[in-house]
Structure 1
Amino acid sequence: MRWKKTGMLKGRAPRSVAAVCALVCLAFGGKAQAQGGEEVPSGGEYRVDAIVVEGLLRTRRSVIEQELLFGEGDRINQAQLDESVQRLRNTGLFRAVSVDVVDTTVAAVGGVNTHMEPGRLLRVRVDERWTLLPNFRFGRGGNDVELMVGLQDANLFGSYLQLGGSFHRLAGVNSYSLWFRDPRFLTRRQALFVEGSLGNRVDAVFDLEGNLTGGYSLSRRYFGSSMEREWRRWLKTGAYLSFSDDRFSYSRIGAARRDAQEARGGLPEAMRTLTLGVSTSFGRLDRDSYLRDGTLLTLRFNQSFHFGGEQGRSNRFEASLLKFWTLPWRSNVGVRAILGFSDVEAEHLQFSAGGLSGLRGTVNMRYRGQNYWLLNAEYRIPSLDHRWLVLQHVAFVDAVGVTPYPDQVFGATALTSGIGVRLLSPKIYGLIVRVDYAFPVAGADGPGLSFGAGQVF
């Protein structure tokens, strides 16, 4: 997709007298309207004489400009306008985006070309979200209690930079993290992400029948960075690098879990891991306030080098599919499907599912193995839909399959189903409170109540 930097400054006056006349026309109602993609009456291509942005309180005008596929003086068509509006919505910074188009006849100036041609004035209207907020989550899934407090801003200094940090307590242990993301690194359609954390968690090890077979405390120092580049609206590629330092102990481990772990051979050996990976994404998910629509397929492959332990190198491949449909009554159907293969022997680095964000109605990391698949499907429909508050009702199905044998990965290990509610604010970035109740269908430990913040996917 073509990227054009317009170079306009906030508050800049239109470049021609005709554009000022267009503003007068707009003030007196002489306009055609394109609300997020409706046809401009004249059709075909037209020149954009001026761009006016309304509704900005904190966000810089340059953020709007870098999402548009055109600038003042460019000739555009309806498809470019529709795509530009959708790109503004996909930033997540705005509750709503609309465009008014003024149709006026403009005299071209310069040289001997004094012919008449149609011109337009575009008025972009946005309704900003509040993006600077404390981050708080208190949840319970299975037997684990989770508390997270932090601060994040998805629009730092009004420039679409993102920064956040958090304190996280899960199952009685504390963790800390700090991250930064630039979705338009070097003013291009590429995203830079950097994260550092000091994590602590208590791991329980179960067999597939749900019997506790061991456990330990894991302390991890982690650093990771990734870069992703958009080549087309439907194609992205990325690369990432991470380093982790993992150490194990019996801190906060009960006697029964410790005895079971000793029977398995004791604590795992301390391990440092360097990981290099690449990714490719096909498709795109489009936003419209709290609704989603579209398809996104992401393929990831990485190779890890382990220092410590018995295995020196491992490989991992993961394919994830996200699919959303918008239905009548502003309802949404969403599906997440993940398929992963690896040859890693270190137990704490294997795929895992269960608990608050995987298989609801089970304990955290209940299912673990070298190969797995995970499926989450939800139907979401609102009973209250207000500018500041939305109440969604949810029906869901979760399923997982875990195995050490790649040729048996498609077997089902556990299945749950349930209902829930979502309380969210379209005007506040990322604010979603959820409550889910899951019923066991097969191979699960529930029923169980899960509540916390954020969507499952």
Structure 2
Amino acid sequence: MPRCEPTDGSDPGAEAARATPQPSPTRAPPGPGTMRAATTHALLALLTSLVALSPPAQAEGDASSSQEASSGGVLADEVNLDDLDDLVPLSEATGLTVQDIRILGLGRTSPGVVERELYIARGQLLREEDLTESIQRLWNTALFRDVRYQLTRAPEGGVVVWLAVGERWTTIPIVKFGGGGGSTYFIVGVYDPNAFGEYIELGGQYQNTNLNTHSGVVWFREPRFLGLRLRWSAELWYTNIVRPLYRDGTNVLEGGYNQERLQVFNAFDYEVVRYVQVGVGFEFDNDRFNTRNLTEDQQAANDAFGLDLPSGGRTSFAEARLILGRLDRDEFLFQGVQMTNRFKRASKLIGSELNLNFIHSETLAFLRLPWRSNLATRVTVGHNNTDADQHLFFIGGLDYMRGYFDGQLRGHNFWQANVEYRIPSVDTSWVVLQHVGFADVGDVSDSFADLATFERAPRTSLGLGVRLMSPRIYRLTVRFDYAVTLENDTPQAISFSAAQFF
């Protein structure tokens, strides 16, 4: 999903390249009235999510395939592949010619989407590693809640590969909410990662932050542009956020401002080999600043400390990316390591009013453990060389450090790490209830040497949380976390959203 939502762990590979601590969508600490309204939005979103657990019958009822070999009208759930005639064990089928590939269970999704992900092909010799990789790639699209295979002897010799998939409901109304670090938001919109049944993502949404600012975005993503393993992403944003400023990383308010930004983003990522992607992108930002929508406390702090508003204007970035590794999924579980490295350069040569360098690296690592549990980790580091306040790193409770005010920590350099242990108590084909213990740690500084030598103890928080998910509905997750910092006080203990924290 786009950046105005917390990163959803159900699709970490799709978000890693954009999960950067840029101005987040929710900023000002709300008063009691705002928190009551946020609670109402949270309950409404939770009710909507539960109702959505019964998707329209079209999601699976119209399961005929345009492919002749798909046993039209037969759902994957209704097929027992073990009942097929002339079954061949994989050990015996390895090295035989693939005479045919037959796909069961497709309704909305084009057979070409499935075939495009396969490492096996008609007329080629079957290799175990290619078949295993094909099955995993189908899981990784997140379009299917079930992927199975079976092998049978072909009448003319060789082998027939049977694939049975169970489609997820992917046309998703967006009714989401979130809070943390003293900020709350709600989002409405709609998106579909399988538009027209072609594995193309289209979406749009409106976001309201703290009931007083309005933002929106429309986006397009094509993971297999031109039929290649080339991902094309395009986004158009208008964001309007209040940015509170805190003194030296404490929870002492020293002012704030309102930032309006028009942003255009376009990028391409190409899979060179199985675990290596390279990418290029272009981003254009046009910023304006004012004091509208500030709270009385923020305005009073501005007056007391004599805060000057940042200079607005245009910033144009050229970006290069290197993505190493991969995250593999199996329903709501993940396995693997993926590192996303980004270098952005803003220059007057490409129309920018600022010159700056931006370096950012994020590593996600997931380990499957017994009892259908997951150990999830995220480590992020960043550096930039600008004095423009809007391009500094802002770290806080909404997206990186639970238990702190959103944007409480800011500077030119940062590092942070999150660790979560996720284990389910309820695990059915419709509903999963996951329990989470977590730790967040990190720091921000204008001096890289201070971070590298740990001149001060890093900020740390610990906590517990729950997740409510549905394997049958694309990325449906409701999250509630409670965090306590290891310092004298905890500015903002509760964090919640309709997504995994990462």
Give the TM-score range, shorter chain: 0.7 to 0.9
* 1:210 maps to amino acid: N
Which residue matches 2:221?
181
Which residue matches 1:4?
none
Which residue matches 1:37?
none
Which residue matches 2:191?
152
Contact 1:414 1:444 in 2 (8 A): no
Which residue matches 1:54?
104
> What are the equivalent positions in structure 2 for 1:247-266 lying under 5 Å apart?
247-262=288-303, 263-266=305-308
Which residue matches 1:202?
242
**Aligned equivalents of 2:173, 2:94: Cα separation in 1:** 47
> What are the equivalent positions in structure 2 for 1:154-169 lying under 5 Å apart?
154-169=193-208
**Aligned equivalents of 2:311, 2:369: Cα separation in 1:** 51
Residue among 397, 400, 408 paired with 2:450? 408
* 1:274 maps to amino acid: S
C-alpha distance after superposition, 1:290-330 (max 9, x if no partner): 100001111111111379xx983110111111100000011
* 1:425 maps to amino acid: S
Which residue matches 2:147?
97
C-alpha distance after superposition, 1:96-151 (max 9, x if no partner): 21111113463xxxxxxxxxxx5111110101111101011122213212111110
**Aligned equivalents of 1:305, 1:215: Cα separation in 2:** 28
Report how far residue 225 of structure 1 moved.
0.5
The structure with the largest helix share of the pair is: 2
* Equivalent position SS for 2:158: strand
Report how far residue 228 of structure 1 moved.
0.1
C-alpha distance after superposition, 1:20-69 (max 9, x if no partner): xxxxx986532136xxxxxx131541111111101111111000010012
Unaligned runs of 5+ in 2: 1-64, 71-80
Change (3 A) 1:407 1:453: same
Which residue matches 2:43?
none
Contact 2:255 2:298 in 1 (8 A): yes
* Equivalent position SS for 2:97: strand
More off after superposition, 187-196 vs 356-365? 356-365
Which residue matches 1:286?
328
Residue among 281, 292, 297 paired with 2:339? 297
Report how far residue 445 of structure 1 moved.
3.2
Which residue matches 2:287?
246
* Equivalent position SS for 1:66: helix
> What are the equivalent positions in structure 2 for 1:267-416 lying under 5 Å apart?
267-305=309-347, 312-410=354-452, 411=454, 412-416=457-461
Change (3 A) 1:256 1:217: same
* Equivalent position SS for 1:442: coil
Q: Does residue 30 of the first structure (1) align with residue 75 of the second (2)?
A: no
Which residue matches 2:267?
226
Report how far residue 436 of structure 1 moved.
0.3
Report how far residue 442 of structure 1 moved.
3.1
**Aligned equivalents of 1:10, 1:335: Cα separation in 2:** 42
Which residue matches 2:174?
135
**Aligned equivalents of 2:315, 2:84: Cα separation in 1:** 65
Structure with the larger RCO, 1 or 2 (CA within 8 Å, 6+ apart) = 2
Change (3 A) 1:420 1:13: closer
More off after superposition, 249-258 vs 363-372? 249-258
Report how far residue 85 of structure 1 moved.
0.6
Q: Does residue 214 of the first structure (1) align with residue 255 of the second (2)?
A: yes
Which residue matches 1:119?
158
**Aligned equivalents of 1:358, 1:374: Cα separation in 2:** 7
Report how far residue 269 of structure 1 moved.
1.5
Which residue matches 1:420?
465
**Aligned equivalents of 2:86, 2:159: Cα separation in 1:** 12
Which residue matches 2:26?
none
**Aligned equivalents of 2:420, 2:401: Cα separation in 1:** 13
**Aligned equivalents of 1:421, 1:284: Cα separation in 2:** 26
* Equivalent position SS for 2:486: strand
* 2:385 maps to amino acid: D
**Aligned equivalents of 1:157, 1:320: Cα separation in 2:** 33
* 2:149 maps to amino acid: V
Percent same amino acid among aligned pairs?
Answer: 35
Change (3 A) 1:134 1:142: same
Report how far residue 186 of structure 1 moved.
0.5
Report how far residue 388 of structure 1 moved.
1.2
**Aligned equivalents of 1:429, 1:211: Cα separation in 2:** 41
* Equivalent position SS for 1:426: coil
Contact 1:390 1:425 in 2 (8 A): yes
Q: Does residue 77 of the first structure (1) align with residue 118 of the second (2)?
A: no
TM-score between the two structures when normalised by the length of structure 2: 0.80
**Aligned equivalents of 1:255, 1:305: Cα separation in 2:** 38
Which residue matches 2:52?
none
Change (3 A) 1:166 1:388: same
**Aligned equivalents of 2:444, 2:67: Cα separation in 1:** 57
Contact 1:415 1:444 in 2 (8 A): no
Report how far residue 227 of structure 1 moved.
0.3
Change (3 A) 1:447 1:219: closer
Report how far residue 447 of structure 1 moved.
5.3
**Aligned equivalents of 1:27, 1:350: Cα separation in 2:** 60
Contact 2:94 2:125 in 1 (8 A): no
- Determine which structure has more spread, i.e. the larger CA radius of gyration: 1
TM-score between the two structures when normalised by the length of structure 1: 0.88
Change (3 A) 1:276 1:351: same
